[in-house]
Structure 1
């Protein structure tokens, strides 16, 4: 028997299987030329060099900082505490995405639950795998401080390990509880969408809060800070002795705080496993269709026929997107980053028009590219459209319009507002924005390879040429919008660059049925 053999069916045995799957999926290739699992030698060397470089950078930073031999000043603790809030929000976002994947996308829970394995072991291992996945990226970037600190005789930096793992335990436990609760309250289909949206919001809330804060004037920020400062005084809710700073003190190796916070994370995890593993089985059964919910009987089918190829294609594409709330939630993540721009446009009086113009242009091209891929590359019935009694060019043009019109409708209030403030600059932005979205949509329709809508988040792995071209065109048009509002000659050079990339994309276009 091998020295690495573990008791079959136990928690450690299942956890080893999860590690094996994680390694197989890490850097795996599923292209037509090669199918490889795990990290190749080249990728392993690149990763090792990146980690060495990161350790050298941390070594340079810690050598320039005062040695951490005792508890740091309260200012550093406050900064670390705020940073941990940001880290926890991203952990919660990753945890929600991983929980949705564990329930709806892995497809192996039915097999596991029908085996002789105990459901408690299955749930424990699945929750541990979510925890390790949540903590992995932060461990890579923050644990070099622990390693270098230990070499420099500053063992307090080792507190990074238990603090990050405890936070990951809490975030994954809260994520799986929230996902299962949503399954019970609103059903499986809505849970998949709502959990994706909550994950996107929890990850972007810090960004949105900071950008919204910067969007207001200096007087508002000064008044708000003046009201918040008393909360940090001694004896106040956020004072130096407040328990709110316990995770930050644990991060810097304070023994009592480290013990309390580490124990709290482990307790949350164990309580979640103890009280939730049966609820987990019910959620999995409902997700796989074992538990059926009652539905109202459908009424008679009614068909509405439209005249004209454009109206028919537009109605068809928009209806298919609206019927897929999971896909809408994935596209919605890009819309979140447009919200600060609308704060800048509508709330700030001294808004920098050219900066807003460039940002709106780049984000609009990104959103138009995503919709174009969904409508053109992810077409589910190309053969049916190919035999339709309509010109293929008319169908393609209508599809491009179906991708551009929603984005243009979304940014129209901002465009009208900017035209009212500066009619010349606003009209230039409107013209540049329409040309930019059309260019990116054409590039995507020419270069992006066909795929399924379920592969929306993985489409970049098979269309790197399209991604590079779209990014270059988007940046060139954003620069054109920035300098075009100023009526600068540099905008003509950027315009020529955008048209050049568009021409190259046209020469390299792939053949499509429609």
Structure 2
């Protein structure tokens, strides 16, 4: 009986179920990371049950403020879902390596594309379901069944985001080529992820005490945005309105199917071009004297910078954090006559420096492409590691001085203290990566945090300690 319910091999259902299984297998399954994640999930679920018990007899009605909040949350969530879909589409095209087998199998190309697209949507749903459903489902079970509409809203947003994210990725690959598409796609994903907050800050009023987000929210709520018309569809769907649920699910499913029909040729050509053009440039035979240096320091330093320059996609993946510096600066200086938040900027400077130096140290030390050559070289490993750490620090230095310079416009002594703590915190983060980092390939940069748990904890503690020292010092100095 159960065997009869299994989907036929090669069918859309069979491939889609396989994609979901692959997405589920990417979760941490070894060591302390898995158990920490399980404990946090259980704690979050317990909080959801506690909240559901408190609200079991309280009416939850679609008030204008709640409806506007659902609309705002849907827009922000959709932007991050689209970001995740762009990155997932790039992994599908250029990294996973299973499309050769799928396209050579007796399976229609459209079925493969739809299954991959469903896998991207499923990954998005899994990501947000852990955070959302742990709260919503207990509340819905204990007296508020209309809130099950949030589940359908999440599914509709995920389907639409997957289709749009794939379309953006394939469009970039068609216009700019596969290598440029990866770099531009990551930048676009970061811009899309931070666009909502940036726009809300730019639209604010500097002479108001309220934040820009609060001003916009109150304005929209007063004007009925999110409660009436098309803007009210997410709110009504979240509260279980069958018409709104059908409309949003229909739009998401339509975009999903249209993407499978219209993007099939672009998907195939993007995959073929990616396999043909993503190789690095070959040596030209020109004089290579400039590639060799007399000292160990200059040789290793130049080698690390050259490797970094050869992988612009990885550079931009690291520098994506700069996009989120803009909201920090807006918060600090967007208060009109009020004092800027220099202590917060000082703390953020140390935190950012620790992350950047740690990331670059991981690239130079843990992601070394030729560790065997270094082991057998007539130079001590400690000397090479010191040079690598200095190279990582030099890579992060132009970014690490940004916030101290911003603070200098308010207090020069505070800027000097911040710079000193930033240097110490960044050096400590790099040293921790040097001593506790685990070897890995450069392509696994996005999953580097699944390495040393002790190293991750120590890096966070160092950032908090020196960031707190910098923030407290700037607070008393100014």
TM-score interval, smaller chain: 0.7 to 0.9
What residue is the counterpart of 2:469 in the other structure?
A: 480
For residue 429 of structure 1, the aligned residue among 418, 428, 434 is 418
Unpaired stretches in structure 1, ≥5 consecutive residues: 32-38, 489-514
Give, in whole Å, the separation in 1 of the partners of 2:468 and 2:110.
56
Range moving further from structure 2, 16-25 or 402-411 = 16-25
Q: Do structure 1's residue 324 and structure 2's residue 314 form an aligned pair? A: no
Give, in whole Å, the separation in 1 of the partners of 2:423 and 2:150.
49
**Equivalence map 1:191-340=2 (5 Å):** 191-209=181-199, 217-219=206-208, 238=225, 240-289=227-276, 300-303=285-288, 304=290, 305-340=292-327
Using the TM superposition, give the Cα deviation of residue 8 of structure 1 relative to its aligned residue in structure 2, in angstroms.
2.5
Residue 373 of structure 1: SS of its match in structure 2? helix
What residue is the counterpart of 1:502 in the other structure?
A: none
Change (3 A) 1:294 1:394: closer
Give, in whole Å, the separation in 2 of the partners of 1:268 and 1:219.
41
Using the TM superposition, give the Cα deviation of residue 75 of structure 1 relative to its aligned residue in structure 2, in angstroms.
2.2
What residue is the counterpart of 1:512 in the other structure?
A: none
**Equivalence map 1:52-63=2 (5 Å):** 52-63=45-56
Residue 10 of structure 2: SS of its match in structure 1? coil
Residue 157 of structure 2: SS of its match in structure 1? helix
Using the TM superposition, give the Cα deviation of residue 367 of structure 1 relative to its aligned residue in structure 2, in angstroms.
1.0
CA contact (8 A) 1:338 1:360 kept: no
C-alpha distance after superposition, 1:297-338 (max 9, x if no partner): 985523214444333332221121121122113212333333
CA contact (8 A) 1:213 1:221 kept: no
CA contact (8 A) 1:338 1:363 kept: no
What residue is the counterpart of 1:113 in the other structure?
A: 103
Change (3 A) 1:455 1:341: same
Residue 219 of structure 1: SS of its match in structure 2? coil
Q: Do structure 1's residue 470 and structure 2's residue 459 form an aligned pair? A: yes
Residue 55 of structure 2: SS of its match in structure 1? helix
- Between the two proteins, the alignment pairs up a number of residues equal to 472
Residue 413 of structure 2: SS of its match in structure 1? helix
Greater Rg over alpha carbons, structure? 1
Give, in whole Å, the separation in 2 of the partners of 1:87 and 1:293.
32
CA contact (8 A) 2:361 2:433 kept: yes
**Equivalence map 1:446-465=2 (5 Å):** 446-465=435-454
C-alpha distance after superposition, 1:156-183 (max 9, x if no partner): 2221122111111100000111111111
Give, in whole Å, the separation in 2 of the partners of 1:360 and 1:44.
28
Residue 316 of structure 1: SS of its match in structure 2? helix
Change (3 A) 1:270 1:223: closer
Give, in whole Å, the separation in 2 of the partners of 1:376 and 1:162.
46
Change (3 A) 1:361 1:208: farther
Using the TM superposition, give the Cα deviation of residue 364 of structure 1 relative to its aligned residue in structure 2, in angstroms.
0.9
C-alpha distance after superposition, 1:54-89 (max 9, x if no partner): 541341353363244xxx222221111111111111
C-alpha distance after superposition, 1:258-292 (max 9, x if no partner): 22222111111111112222322222222222xx6
Unpaired stretches in structure 2, ≥5 consecutive residues: none
Residue 117 of structure 1: SS of its match in structure 2? coil
Change (3 A) 1:230 1:393: closer
Using the TM superposition, give the Cα deviation of residue 484 of structure 1 relative to its aligned residue in structure 2, in angstroms.
2.8
**Equivalence map 1:133-148=2 (5 Å):** 133-143=123-133, 147-148=137-138
Give, in whole Å, the separation in 2 of the partners of 1:23 and 1:203.
24
C-alpha distance after superposition, 1:383-428 (max 9, x if no partner): 4345556565543332222111232222335424534532322222
Residue 338 of structure 1: SS of its match in structure 2? helix
Change (3 A) 1:319 1:12: same
Q: TM-score, normalised by structure 1?
A: 0.81
Give, in whole Å, the separation in 1 of the partners of 2:54 and 2:146.
16
Q: Do structure 1's residue 402 and structure 2's residue 403 form an aligned pair? A: no
Range moving further from structure 2, 107-116 or 344-353 = 344-353
Give, in whole Å, the separation in 2 of the partners of 1:268 and 1:92.
13
What residue is the counterpart of 2:432 in the other structure?
A: 443
Give, in whole Å, the separation in 2 of the partners of 1:266 and 1:52.
30
What residue is the counterpart of 1:66 in the other structure?
A: 59
What residue is the counterpart of 1:14 in the other structure?
A: 15
Give, in whole Å, the separation in 1 of the partners of 2:366 and 2:280.
34
CA contact (8 A) 1:77 1:248 kept: yes
Give, in whole Å, the separation in 1 of the partners of 2:237 and 2:254.
17
Q: TM-score, normalised by structure 2?
A: 0.86
Give, in whole Å, the separation in 2 of the partners of 1:463 and 1:124.
37
What residue is the counterpart of 1:341 in the other structure?
A: 328
CA contact (8 A) 2:71 2:226 kept: no
C-alpha distance after superposition, 1:422-452 (max 9, x if no partner): 2322222222221221122112111112221
Using the TM superposition, give the Cα deviation of residue 122 of structure 1 relative to its aligned residue in structure 2, in angstroms.
1.0
C-alpha distance after superposition, 1:428-479 (max 9, x if no partner): 2222221221122112111112221112122222211211121111111111
Change (3 A) 1:142 1:465: closer
What CA RMSD, in Å, does the superposition of the two structures yield over aligned residues?
3.5
Using the TM superposition, give the Cα deviation of residue 344 of structure 1 relative to its aligned residue in structure 2, in angstroms.
5.3
What residue is the counterpart of 1:360 in the other structure?
A: 349
Change (3 A) 1:392 1:144: closer
C-alpha distance after superposition, 1:192-211 (max 9, x if no partner): 22222222332233344556
